[in-house]
Amino acid sequence: MSQAVNKIDHTFSVAPMLDWTDRHCRYFYRTMSRHAVLYTEMVTTGAIIYGKGDYLQFNQAEHPIVLQLGGSDPADMAKAAVAAQEYGYDEININVGCPSDRVQNGRFGACLMAEPDTVSECLTAMQQACDLPVTVKSRIGIDDFDSYEFLTQFVEKVQAAGCEHFIVHARKAWLKGLSPKQNREVPPLDYQRVYQLKKDFPELTFSINGGIETIEQAKAHLQHVDGVMLGRAVYQNPYLMQQVDEQLYGIPASHLSRIDVAEAMFEYMENETQNGATSWHIARHMLGLFNGQPKARLWRRFLSENARQHPQGSDLLKLALAQMK
C-alpha cells in the first residue's frame, strides 16, 4: 500500500523513551507545541497482540503521533500495524536502535541493523497490511559493523522495501559490554556521518538524534538534515517545547508561561485521575518544568513529597503552583 497518507512534518520530534514518553507525558508536551511530532514509548508486538493492557491508548490532542514498534516477525509486525491504524496513529516507526539485552533477546532493536533483510520483510508486510507510513530508527552501526559502507548498505536495502524516512541516532551501539545508558553516552557522536547520508540519499528524509540539547543546536543540524529528534533534553527541560513552533516551524507561539502550562494540565489531571490514573502518574513528567528558575528545586520537591497525600484531582499541581507564585 502507498506511504503517501498522513504526511507529517518531521522538522522536530520528541524521541521515544521507555518509562518516560507515556500518554500523560505526551499530552503535557502537546500543551506547549502543536507541531512537534510525538512518539510513544517502544511497544512490542507481543504486548499489542497478546498483552492484557491497552498499550496503544492515546488522547486525540496528541496528534501528530507515531507508534514506535519493537519486533522482528513480519506477520506480527503486520498485525500490530493494523491495530495502530485502527487506533488512529499517524505513522509507525520500527525500532532498530535500542541496544538493551532484553530487546536483543527478543531479536529486535539495534541488533536488527545486522539483518536488513528482516527489517525489509517487516516493512513490506506492514505496508501491505496498512496505509500508514512506516519509518525506521537506527544507529550508525553496531559493534565492529561500524563502517559507513555498512550503514549505507542497511539504508539501501530498507529503502528498497519502501522506507522513505530514517531517524538516525548518530552513535553506534555496543551490543555487549555497555548498558543502554552507557550506549547513549560512551560511543562518540558522529553527526557528519548522518549529514553524509542525506547527501548520498537526497531523495530520502533523514532526522538526526543524539546529544542535541537546545533549539539553537537543532537549527544548526537542520542546515544538513530534514529533522531533529530530542529526547532527554526535552524530558529534563520540558519548557524547551515552548520554543518549537515559533523557532522551528515559523508559526506564532502561544507564549504560555511555565505557570500557564501547569494550569493547562488541571482539567486533564481531573479527568485522568477519575479514570484510574494518580496525580503522580502525570506530575512526574512535569518535574523539570521550572528547571533553571529560582524555585525549581522547591517545585520538584513539593510534587515528589506530596503526591501520596493528593492522589486524585489537580490539587497536587495547584498546591505546588502556590509555592511558585
| Share in percent of the chain as helix, strand, coil (round to 5) | 45, 15, 40
Helix (H, G, I), strand (E, B) or coil at 138: strand
Q: How far apart are CA 11 and CA 89, in angstroms?
A: 18
Share of the chain above pLDDT 70, in %: 98
Res 272 pLDDT > 80: yes
Last residue of a domain, one of 198, 221, 249: 249
Report how far Cα 12 is from the mean position of its chain's Cα atoms: 11
In degrees and rounded to multiples of 5, residue 168 shows phi and psi of -120, 115
Asked if residue 163 and residue 36 are part of one domain, the reply reads yes
What is the per-residue pLDDT for 17? 96
Nearest to residue 233, comparing CAs of 259, 249, 216, 211? 211
Burial of 291 (0-12, 13-18, 19+ CB in 10 A): middle
Q: What is the DSSP string of 53-97?
A: S--S---GGG-SEEEEEE---HHHHHHHHHHHHHHT-SEEEEEE-
Asked if residue 245 and residue 268 are part of one domain, the reply reads no
In a domain, 4, yes or no: no
Q: How confident is the model at residue 1 (pLDDT cuts 50, 70, 90)?
A: very low
Worst-scoring range by mean pLDDT, 88-102, 229-243, 270-284, 305-319?
88-102
Q: How far apart are CA 188 and CA 211, in angstroms?
A: 10
Beta bridge partners of 43: 69
Beta bridge partners of 95: 137
Considering its fold, how many domains does the chain have in total? Answer: 2
What is the per-residue pLDDT for 100? 79
Last residue of a domain, one of 192, 221, 249: 249
What is the per-residue pLDDT for 76? 97
Cβ–Cβ < 8 Å for 69, 43: yes
What is the per-residue pLDDT for 178? 84
Q: The cell 530508527 sits on which residue?
A: 137
For residue 313, the domain's CATH number is: 1.20.120.1460
Res 284 pLDDT > 50: yes
Q: How confident is the model at residue 207 (pLDDT cuts 50, 70, 90)?
A: very high
Asked if residue 230 and residue 181 are part of one domain, the reply reads yes
62 to each of 24, 36, 165, 189, 307, how far by Cα in Å? 10, 10, 21, 30, 25
For residue 236, the domain's CATH number is: 3.20.20.70
What is the per-residue pLDDT for 107? 79
In a domain, 7, yes or no: no
Last residue of a domain, one of 195, 223, 249: 249
What is the per-residue pLDDT for 181? 86
For 252-268, what is the mean pLDDT?
Answer: 94
What domain range is 190 assigned to? 12-249
The residues, ordered by sequence, that sit 6+ positions from 126 with a Cβ below 8 Å of its Cβ are 74, 77, 78, 81, 92, 94, 132, 134
Asked if residue 223 and residue 296 are part of one domain, the reply reads no
What is the per-residue pLDDT for 78? 98
For 27-38, what is the mean pLDDT?
Answer: 97
For 189-195, what is the mean pLDDT?
Answer: 98
Task: Indicate which residues carry an active-site annotation.
Answer: 98
Count of Cβ atoms closer than 10 Å to residue 141 Cβ? 22
For 209-231, what is the mean pLDDT?
Answer: 98
Burial of 201 (0-12, 13-18, 19+ CB in 10 A): middle
Helix (H, G, I), strand (E, B) or coil at 137: strand
In a domain, 3, yes or no: no
Asked if residue 105 and residue 189 are part of one domain, the reply reads yes
Cis peptide before 64 (omega within 30 of 0): yes
Asked if residue 139 and residue 91 are part of one domain, the reply reads yes
What is the per-residue pLDDT for 4? 39
Cβ–Cβ < 8 Å for 317, 269: yes
DSSP state of 111: G
Nearest to residue 11, comparing CAs of 251, 254, 253, 248? 248
Asked if residue 265 and residue 235 are part of one domain, the reply reads no
Asked if residue 160 and residue 46 are part of one domain, the reply reads yes
Q: How confident is the model at residue 252 (pLDDT cuts 50, 70, 90)?
A: confident
Q: How far apart are CA 132 and CA 88, in angstroms?
A: 10
- On average, the pLDDT of the chain sits at 95
Asked if residue 157 and residue 39 are part of one domain, the reply reads yes
Asked if residue 288 and residue 222 are part of one domain, the reply reads no
pLDDT tens-place string over residues 100-149:
776 777 778 999 999 999 999 999 999 999 999 999 999 999 999 999 99
In a domain, 65, yes or no: yes
Q: The cell 494518580 sits on which residue?
A: 278
What is the per-residue pLDDT for 6? 52
What is the per-residue pLDDT for 123? 98
Asked if residue 70 and residue 184 are part of one domain, the reply reads yes
What is the per-residue pLDDT for 180? 83
In a domain, 274, yes or no: yes
What is the per-residue pLDDT for 154? 98
What is the per-residue pLDDT for 111? 93
